[in-house]
């Protein structure tokens, strides 16, 4: 190696996954230098917050579930716990667009019996789930898994809408084991999803001596967010890493030097940006495929085969009196059967009031996914989102704010065979010492997945 100092740990990709991995490495090995190479002019990737005309808009992820324990713990370690705010009670109230109208989704198991979203037959079939035999097909789709365990009546519109909200995808084309691994694990460990959930609830149950004291305890919020938006998380990680981050560094190729086992990270024109014996590619799989095409063509083919669905996020700001519908809630999801390109709309300022000026509402519309091919024109996408959202919610007049953010490619789609593909990828990586992959293309698309991934050294 050149010089006397040891080579740095190099992270290619300064999105949230890359930043978390670099920060963890720096904390675990303070004697080792860390280098993050990011092609764009800012760190954070798609995660960013925009302030405009008194509104706070998130370009991608906007909140954390209460169960996102790894990311919440990370936020605490970063000294940002005091900046966490809890969602209001409105976050418990949700809708689903069904046959052109908004219908409240069941808020409890008992409300499943009264919801118009399920037929009487579907409701009865659900409760046979504890007696359904375990499955065995690794490539079973989400729709297949739910239909087998709970009945086909739960797939449309409810599962369809939920999967739309998470993956912007089709439950008939996503592998259950990869897309919702915890649900599959409940079946494998307990023989039943419902039985597994009940057992987990008993484990978490409050001891009898504490029940009286906790009965009046503060409610558990559905969501958490940072007061200044997700940009606060990016900024804190960037501050912790300091000069370790280099923006405007476009990596074009990774080449292994067999003479010393190092990796040469090359930029435009073959210029060497860095050299290291330990490299993490924290980029989407399709970008990693391009970087490794000449090093391992088979690995590159596997990586490029992981698909993605284009999505757009559109911030819509209006005065409260312009909206005819009830927007005191989390928002609504849209099953694929509905005649609209919308995937869903979140009523952001209803559960996080600070995100809109007084007397105004911030809506966050999502479009695209597998059902709609988005044009590469933010203004046209914003206009489409406004037309559809105002139609469904009965909004009059003109918006005070209308801002679109396009993500192309967007959310990875874990097709049947994804788990097997990951095994093949791992086998190829085992033959390339010092190289690792990270990011939402592989094992989970949530922020909490990135925090868990970064914790594994």
Domains observed in the chain:
9-45+229-306+415-455 (3.50.50.60), 51-66+81-90+307-413 (3.90.660.20)
Give the pLDDT confidence of 404-439 residue by residue, as tens digits: 999 989 999 999 999 999 999 999 999 999 999 999
Residue 215 has φ and ψ, to the nearest 5°, of: -60, -35
Q: Mind listing the pLDDT tens digit for each residue in 93-137?
A: 999 999 999 999 988 767 777 889 999 999 899 889 999 999 879
**Mean residue pLDDT across the chain:** 92
Question: What confidence score (pLDDT) does residue 28 get?
Answer: 94
Instruction: Quickly state the pLDDT bin for 65 (edges 50, 70, 90).
Output: very high
pLDDT at 206: 44
Q: Name which of 330, 359, 340, 421 is nearest 95 in CA terms.
A: 330
First to last CA, the chain: 24
Instruction: Report the percent of the chain where pLDDT is more than 90.
Output: 84
pLDDT band at 214 (very low <50, low <70, confident <90, very high): very low
The predicted model gives 372-398 an average pLDDT of: 95
HSE (CB half, 13 Å, CA atoms) of 229?
A: 21
Residue 212 has pLDDT above 90, yes or no: no
CB count, 10 Å around CB of 32? Answer: 13
DSSP, residue by residue, 186-209: HHHHHS-HHHHHHHHHHHTPPPHH
What pLDDT does 197 receive? 84
Q: Using pLDDT thresholds of 50, 70 and 90, give the confidence band for residue 208.
A: very low
Asked if 263 and 435 touch (Cβ cutoff 8 Å), the reply is: yes
Each residue of 298-331: b (16+ CB within 10 Å) or e? ebbebbbebbbbbbbbbbbbbbeebbeeebebbb
Structure tokens at 229: 């938006």
Those residues with Cβ within 8 angstroms of residue 82's Cβ, 6 or more apart along the chain or in another chain:
none
Per-residue pLDDT of 293-343, as tens digits, reads 999 999 999 999 999 999 999 999 999 999 999 999 999 999 999 989 999
Residue 47 CB burial class (10 angstroms; 0-12, 13-18, ≥19): buried
CA–CA distance, 86 with 132 (Å, rounded to integer): 38
């Amino acid at each position: 190696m050149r010089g006397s100092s040891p080579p740095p740990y190099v992270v290619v990709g300064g999105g949230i996954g890359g930043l978390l991995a670099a920060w963890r490495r720096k904390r675990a090995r303070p004697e080792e230098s860390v280098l993050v190479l990011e092609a764009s002019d800012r760190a954070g990737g798609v995660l960013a917050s925009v302030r405009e005309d008194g509104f706070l808009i998130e370009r991608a992820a906007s909140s954390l579930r209460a169960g996102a324990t790894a990311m919440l713990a990370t936020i605490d370690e970063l000294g940002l716990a005091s900046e966490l705010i809890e969602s209001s009670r409105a976050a418990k109230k949700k809708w689903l667009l069904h046959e052109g109208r908004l219908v409240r989704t069941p808020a409890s198991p008992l409300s499943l019996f009264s919801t118009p979203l399920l037929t009487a037959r579907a409701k009865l079939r659900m409760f046979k789930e504890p007696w359904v035999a375990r499955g065995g097909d690794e490539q079973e789709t989400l729709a297949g898994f739910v239909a087998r365990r709970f009945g086909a009546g739960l797939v449309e519109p409810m599962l369809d809408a939920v999967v739309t909200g998470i993956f912007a995808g089709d439950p008939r084309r996503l592998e259950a084991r990869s897309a919702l691994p915890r649900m599959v694990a409940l079946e494998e460990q307990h023989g039943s999803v419902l039985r597994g959930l009940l057992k987990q609830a008993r484990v978490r149950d409050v001891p009898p001596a504490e029940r009286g004291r906790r009965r009046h305890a503060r409610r558990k919020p559905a969501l958490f967010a940072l007061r200044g938006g997700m940009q606060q998380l990016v900024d804190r990680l960037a501050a912790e890493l300091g000069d370790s981050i280099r923006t405007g560094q476009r990596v074009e190729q990774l080449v292994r030097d067999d003479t010393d086992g190092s990796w040469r990270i090359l930029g435009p024109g073959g210029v060497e940006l860095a050299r290291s014996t330990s490299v993490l590619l924290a980029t989407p799989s399709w970008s990693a495929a391009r970087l490794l095409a000449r090093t391992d063509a088979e690995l590159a083919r596997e990586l490029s085969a992981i698909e993605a669905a284009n999505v757009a996020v559109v911030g819509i700001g209006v005065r409260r009196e312009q909206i005819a519908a009830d927007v005191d809630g989390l928002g609504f999801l849209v099953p694929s059967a509905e005649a609209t390109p919308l995937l869903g709309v979140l009523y952001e300022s209803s559960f996080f009031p600070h995100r809109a000026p007084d007397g105004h509402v911030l809506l966050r519309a999502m479009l695209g996914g597998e059902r709609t091919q988005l044009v590469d024109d933010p203004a046209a996408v914003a206009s489409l989102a406004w037309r559809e959202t105002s139609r469904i919610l009965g909004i009059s007049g003109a918006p005070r704010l209308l801002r679109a953010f396009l993500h192309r490619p967007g959310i990875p789609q874990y097709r049947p065979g994804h788990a097997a593909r990951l095994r093949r990828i791992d086998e190829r990586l085992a033959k390339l010492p010092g190289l690792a992959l990270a990011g939402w293309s592989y094992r989970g698309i949530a922020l909490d997945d990135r925090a868990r991934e970064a914790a594994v050294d």
